[in-house]
Amino acid sequence: MAKKVDEVDRYEAERYKVKCTKCGHIQFDKVTGHVCVKCNSPSVKVE
């Protein structure tokens, strides 16, 4: 049975939401230092 995403997990995800400055790819970045997984450009935190 799949684990249901609770409010805490959703909040955590939003906290780490970043968007690439070059290609606009959005990812949830906790570990990679805000570098886009698609084009390897810097990502900025989505406010």
| Segment 18-40, tens digit of pLDDT | 999 999 999 887 766 688 889 99
In angstroms, the CA 5 to CA 19 distance is 22
Side-chain-side CA neighbours of residue 15 (13 Å)? 8
Contact 45, 26 (CB under 8 A): no
Quote the pTM value: 0.60
Return the beta strands (E) in the chain as ranges.
17-20, 26-28, 43-45
- pLDDT for 13 equals 76
Q: Is the pLDDT assigned to residue 4 strictly greater than 70?
A: no
In angstroms, the CA 13 to CA 11 distance is 5
- pLDDT for 24 equals 92
